[in-house]
Each structure stands twice: as C-alpha cells, then as structure tokens.
Structure 1
Amino acid sequence: MTTQVLNKHLENNLGSRLYFLDWIRILAFAFLVFYHSALMFVDWGFHIESGYNSTFLKTIMILSSKWRLDILFLVSGVAISYMITKMPLKSFTWQRIVKLYLPLLFAIAIVVAPQSYYEAIQKGVFEGNFWQFWSSHYFTFAWDKRMNAPFPTYNHMWYVLYLFHYTVLLLPLCAFINSEKGIVILQKIEKFLTKSSRIIWLPLTIYFVIFFAFNNHEVTHTFYDDWYGHAIFLFAVLMGLIFVRMPKIWLSFQENRFISLAIGLASYSVLLTLFLLPNEMFPFDTGLVWGIVEILVKWSWIALIIGFARKYLNYTNSSLKYCNSIVYPFFILHQTVIIIFGFYVIDWGMSGTLEFLTIVVGTFVICALLYELLIKRVNILRLLFGMSWQNKESIVDDFCSKSIVINNDKIS
C-alpha cells in the first residue's frame, strides 16, 4: 500500500468527526469545576477547606471519581489517533510539546502558584503577600507536611504531565497502527470486540487484571511512583487510540448501553452501601470488596456514558464549537480560580449550600471573562494556554464568520 493510499484508508476508517466524544470531553471537564469546588466541602483534604463536611456531595463524588479521569484519557487517546493521521510523528511530537508541555511549565510557574499561596495562608504555613511567597518560598523545592503538595507543584495539571508522557511512550504504537499490518490487526480486533457484549466484558477483564497485579491501588498523582494510576490511565489512552480506528466499536457501546447501565447502577448501589454503613456491619474485608466494586463502577459508567452519548449527543452546534475552543484554557484556570475565589467566599457567612453554588457559578463566570477579555486576545497567552497563534487576518475572519453564523441563526 502506498503512503497516499494508506492515508486515504486511515481517513476513511476514522470517518466523520465523533461529536458525541466532544460532548463527553466538554461535560467531563466542566464537571471538574463541580468536583474541585466540592472538595472544599468534604473532609477528604484539599488545598482550601470550608469547615463543612457534606455527605451528600461525597455520595456523588465517590461515583464520579471512579471514571471521570479515565474517560478524559480515553477521549485524549482518540484525539491522538486523529492527529497522527494528519502529520508526521516528528511534527506531532513537537506539537505535543507546544500544546502540552509549554502550558504545563507556565502553569507550574504562574497559574498554580496562587493555589499553594492561599493554602499556605489558610494552614498557617506562610504569612505575607503573594509576591513575597512567590519570590522567596514557591521555588524552594521543599515540602511542608501541612501542605498537600511541595513547592513548586503542578496540582491539577498532573493530567497534562501524564498525558504528555503517555503520548511519547505510545509513539511506536502510533506508527504501527498507521501501517498496513497495523490496520489489518485492528480490523481483526474490531471484528472480535463488536460481537455480542464483548465491548463490556473484555475491557472490564483487563481492568481487573491491572487491579490484581498491584498491591497498592491508591492513585497518588505523584508522577515518579504512581504505578497503579499509570497502568489504568495508560490503558484508557490506549483504548481511545485504537477504538477510534474501529468505527463499529461506538455502535457496540450504544447497543450495549442498557447492560452497562444495569451494571453501573448495581455497582454504584453496592459502593454507596459500603460507604454509608459502618465496616462492623459487614462480615468480610470491605477494602478488597470496595476495590473490586470500584472497577465495576469505573468501566460500566465509562461504557454507559459513551453508549448514551453515541445515541443522543452525536451532533454539533455553535455551543459545541465554542466550548471546544475554550475547554483547555478553562481546565488550566479552573482550580486556581476555585481556590482564590473560594478562599474569600467561605468567610462570607453563608450556608454551605449557598457557598458551594456561589463558588461553582463564580468560577465559570471568572474563567469565561479571563478567556474572553484577556487570553484569546493576546497571542503569547494563547500559546501559554494551549491555543494556536492567531494573526490579525485570522481574527477578522473569525469575527466575520461568527457574525454570519449568528445572523443565520436569527434568520432560521
């Protein structure tokens, strides 16, 4: 197969854009605002703590925490698979450095620093203004045990750090699946996986193999020793990387969505029971059972979300296009905004519910304003927040095209 024919085959195999995965990505990132805001209102340890301990929020968080990161890594694998058909692997690697590592370094140095500062202020680790903290303490590479992380730190940007290194690690596989032999093997895997409900049971089996291969199942977000976390997240990226080369896979998720839903609801019910009732009530090792049920929750909810999204969200509109353009800057900003804004909101004397809602809504508004009024208008900031450099002609064209879309929407 010639290179031109091979590229044409890859494009045909990938098919049209999978809009339902765009929706999943956007909604999963948006949910991070709710999740990280909620961490201030439970006793699980966070950079800023409100003093509240909401059992209700915990019941939602123990569900979402099992799958929300895995599904983001899976969708990221899909994006990688698309990109490696559009450019040589060398160009792709450089693009990943610019889009992932540059924003990561910028975030560690500037964006994340206020998170450490406000945490240090609340926990009595430091007294003084931000400039004094940033210039004298933040880059000391020390770790006060009262803090959740050392100075400096990446905090929520661990996702970007992990994704970049997974991308580099998977480059040989990327080259293979672009080859003629790789295409043939993926076609055989697709034929096997799409029979009956295998798309549910085979990945679940692999998740269990990973689970029982490790004694410690804590995901630490500490890059150098987070081996269990690396195993499950790398597996998620791998699934996205190859699933998108198998168009029938997504239909299989859709056809098996009610099986996934049944497993998801049943396993979540067991998890809630284990969480809400005292350990003394169970005549077995709740730790082991909890871990096993976590795996069931993880994959069943990933599968049901993909299945129902494939059925009901496989479309595009102006909202999807806009959110796709802002989701990465929002992700980089959101936790810093939550912590700074939340630091002051929790002293306003409101109820816990009102404080939580204020922080959530305020975070979305502040991030939107920072994006619209500053980030998207300054090219150097666009690069530092993972966006493309935009010349004046592009800005004018973009404005005109948006005006046309808006006018067309009004006419219709």
Structure 2
Amino acid sequence: MKTERRHDIDWLRVITIALLLIYHIAIIFQPWAMFVGFIRSNETLEGLWTPMSMLNVWRIPILFFVSGMGLYFAMRKRNWKQLVGERARRILLPLLFGIVAIAPLHMFIFQKFYKLPLGYYPHMGHLWFLGNIFVYVLLFLPIFYFLKQKEGGRFQQLLNKLMSNPGGPLLVSLFFMLEAILVKPQIYSLYAETWHGFFLGALAFFFGYLFVYSGESFWNTVKKWRWGYLAMGLLLYAVRYLEFQLEAPGYLMALESTCWIFGVFGLGYRYLNRPSGLLRYLSQAAYPVYIIHMFVMYLGGLLILPIKIHPALQFIAITVFTFALCYVLYEFLIRRIGFLRPLFGLKGKSDNKIGSEIIISDR
C-alpha cells in the first residue's frame, strides 16, 4: 500500500537525535556527571543546564511518539509476520550487537578516564531505548492490527473528531500526568531502564500511532495551535524553574512535556514537511549515529578535557569532535561496508532505499 511520506516526521527525528547528542555532551560539564556514569570535566558549566532542563522533559518522549508513528507507516505495507521479522532484524540485531560490542566501549573509556581497573561486561547502556521499542512493537501489534482492520469505523471517526480541537491532544496529556502520579519518579527526566521510562515510553508509542491513525485532524490542530502549546510549555517551564528549582511535581512536568511536543509537531508540520537531499542523507544516518555517539563522545572527552582551555571551548570542541567522528564512522565504515550495515540497523546494499532506513521511525 502506497502512503504519503511525512518529511516533517523524518526531520523531527533527525533534529531530536542531534539535540540528544548535545544534551549528553552538556552532562559532561555538570558536577553530578560521574554519578550517572558520565566522564566529568574538572571545570563545570552549570549554566548549560538551564536550557538543557527545558529540553530534558520532552527529548526522549518525542522519540517514542515518532517511533509509534513510524510503526503506523510500516504496517501499511507489511503483514504482522513480515513486520515482526523486520523489526527483529532492524532492532534486535543492532541491540544485541550493541550490548556486546558498542556500549562496552564507552564504559572502557570511562574506566580509563578515571584510572579504574579495566574490565569488560556486556550491557545496554544508552541502547535501552531500542529494547523498549521492540517490546512495545510486540505488545501493541495485536491492537494496532485490530485498529487497522477497523479503519473508517466509529473509533477512528471519534478520534478524528476529538483531535479536531485543541483540547483533544491536551486530553491525551492526562494519561501522562496519571503515569507520573502513579509511578512517582524521583527524577522525571530519568528514563533509562526505569519503570517510569518504560510506562511513559509505552504511552507515547501508543498515542504516536493513534495520532497518525486519527487522520489529518491532529496535524491540522497542532499546526493551528502550535504557538499556544509552546506558550503553555514555556509557562510551565517558568513555574518549574522559579518555584521548584527545575524538578516540579511529576504531573506538571508531564503536562509541560506534552505541550512542548505538540508545539514541536505543529512547527514541523507547518515548516518541515518537504523533501530534500540533505534530509534523505541525514534520515539514513541518524540511527547508526545514535548507536555510536556515546563512545565517540567519551573519546572526545578523554582527548579534549585534559587540554587547559576554558570549559566553554572544551564543550564546543567535544561537540565538533563528536559530530565529525560520527560522520566519518558512518560515511566511510558503517554505510559502505556491507556486513556492518545490518548491525547498525541499515538495510543491505541490495535494498538501499534511502530515507526509509531508520527503525526509530521506519516506513
């Protein structure tokens, strides 16, 4: 079944992964970096955390939303057996390879940086995201195929009507607020390998699918009301910053998160839904870059932090190093060497349809 490609969703995935890299680099310059398993600069840039704290409540949830949207498009041209098999190849294989060969690399650099005894052990590290996505695919696939069979029915019509006004998306926010109330995360933005991250990701994945399933009404609504959603997000962030020292009650942070996300979706739909050669390249590169960025970033820190320059210059240098080396590794190794491609979630060279390579939002 032929479907119209949504270039804005591709762009949002690429931009969000780029922001994720910058966010992780900023952690290196926070005084608590070592306690979350990061290497740490001796000179901190705590001022960096003000903009990063605005980002941290929606940077991961939006990727789960996009992943659910991607599954909708993938289901248009695959039956359930084909879909599960393809997801196993494109998620499970890179996850298992990453556990034994990629994630341990940044732990090795961490040990070397802090002069700890060197040791190897397989672990997921930042690849926990892939594990969650694969579980969500298996968990929700029966529901999604049931909904697919009922397209045009009462539920889809009701959903379309609900999403046709600005209160519809905000009604969805109640589920995220309830999750925060029930799970009670001590730190809302701590998603990695926590029950909070799992349940929040499941909700975002599920509603990401439903937003696309509902039809054009959701997209027209977030496009029309994008500045209103962003204003609500900014207001809630101001309250969090001024009244709660950045860690507000979970239900407020959940509402802030969804407001940012709906506003960003609206901006993307309004301004980014057009093809480009750059997007085709970046959309293919984003998934491998996500997989390798942590050890590349740690290597940059290992080489640059000992240099006696201002920490702001160190931050810039590590950022440039990380993006540049990720590009080199992707362009000259991962993309070109046939047996490496599936290990990083890319299709084989014989089936290289650029722009449909990313499992985080595959079509």
The aligned counterpart of 1:252 is 221
CA contact (8 A) 1:329 1:385 kept: yes
The aligned counterpart of 1:368 is 327
The runs of 5 or more residues in structure 2 that have no matched partner are: 355-363
Task: Report the 3-state secondary structure (helix = DSSP H, G, I; strand = E; otherwise coil) of the residue aligned with 2:263.
Answer: helix
Q: Distance in 2 between matches of 1:228 and 1:386?
A: 26
Task: Report the 3-state secondary structure (helix = DSSP H, G, I; strand = E; otherwise coil) of the residue aligned with 1:378.
Answer: coil
Q: Which whole-Å deviations, capped at 9, do the CAs of 1:143-192 have from their partners, x for residues lacking one?
A: xxxxxxxxx22111111111111111111112111113685412221112
Q: Distance in 2 between matches of 1:250 and 1:358?
A: 38
CA contact (8 A) 1:158 1:221 kept: no
Identical pairs, percent: 28
Q: Aligned residues, how many?
A: 349
Q: Which whole-Å deviations, capped at 9, do the CAs of 1:292-315 have from their partners, x for residues lacking one?
A: 331232011001101111111111
Identify the match of residue 186 of structure 1 among 148, 156, 165: 156
Q: Distance in 1 between matches of 2:315 and 2:300?
A: 11
**Matches of residues 195-210 of structure 1 in structure 2 within 5 Å?**
195=165, 197-210=166-179
Q: Which whole-Å deviations, capped at 9, do the CAs of 1:63-102 have from their partners, x for residues lacking one?
A: 1110011100101101111111111111100101110011
The aligned counterpart of 1:153 is 123
CA contact (8 A) 1:63 1:297 kept: no
Q: Distance in 2 between matches of 1:390 and 1:216?
A: 44
Q: Distance in 1 between matches of 2:191 and 2:86?
A: 24
Does the alignment pair 1:70 with 2:61?
yes
Which residue identity lines up with residue 26 of structure 1 in the other structure?
V
Q: Distance in 2 between matches of 1:175 and 1:301?
A: 30
Q: Distance in 1 between matches of 2:77 and 2:186?
A: 37
Q: 1:217 to 1:17 in 2, by over 3 A?
A: farther
Does the alignment pair 1:336 with 2:295?
yes
Which residue identity lines up with residue 202 of structure 1 in the other structure?
L
Q: Distance in 2 between matches of 1:181 and 1:31?
A: 36
Does the alignment pair 1:347 with 2:316?
no
Task: Report the 3-state secondary structure (helix = DSSP H, G, I; strand = E; otherwise coil) of the residue aligned with 2:335.
Answer: helix
Q: Which whole-Å deviations, capped at 9, do the CAs of 1:376-400 have from their partners, x for residues lacking one?
A: 1111100101001114xx78x99xx
Structure with max Cα Rg: 1
Which residue identity lines up with residue 35 of structure 1 in the other structure?
Y
Task: Report the 3-state secondary structure (helix = DSSP H, G, I; strand = E; otherwise coil) of the residue aligned with 2:308.
Answer: coil
1:21 Cα deviation after fit: 1.2
Identify the match of residue 84 of structure 1 among 57, 75, 83: 75
Q: Over aligned residues, Cα RMSD in angstroms?
A: 2.1
**Matches of residues 252-401 of structure 1 in structure 2 within 5 Å?**
252-274=221-243, 289-391=248-350
Q: 1:158 to 1:312 in 2, by over 3 A?
A: same
Which residue identity lines up with residue 49 of structure 1 in the other structure?
R
The runs of 5 or more residues in structure 1 that have no matched partner are: 1-6, 127-132, 140-151, 277-285, 399-412
Which residue identity lines up with residue 209 of structure 1 in the other structure?
L
Q: Distance in 2 between matches of 1:183 and 1:365?
A: 49
Task: Report the 3-state secondary structure (helix = DSSP H, G, I; strand = E; otherwise coil) of the residue aligned with 2:340.
Answer: helix
Runs of 4+ in structure 1 displaced over 3 angstroms? 181-184, 215-223
Q: TM-score, normalised by structure 1?
A: 0.80
CA contact (8 A) 1:200 1:260 kept: no
1:217 Cα deviation after fit: 4.5
1:222 Cα deviation after fit: 5.8
Which residue identity lines up with residue 172 of structure 1 in the other structure?
P
Which residue identity lines up with residue 205 of structure 2 in the other structure?
V
CA contact (8 A) 2:44 2:311 kept: no
Task: Report the 3-state secondary structure (helix = DSSP H, G, I; strand = E; otherwise coil) of the residue aligned with 1:377.
Answer: coil
Task: Report the 3-state secondary structure (helix = DSSP H, G, I; strand = E; otherwise coil) of the residue aligned with 1:371.
Answer: helix
Q: 1:187 to 1:44 in 2, by over 3 A?
A: farther
Does the alignment pair 1:99 with 2:67?
no
Q: 1:124 to 1:116 in 2, by over 3 A?
A: same
The aligned counterpart of 1:232 is 200
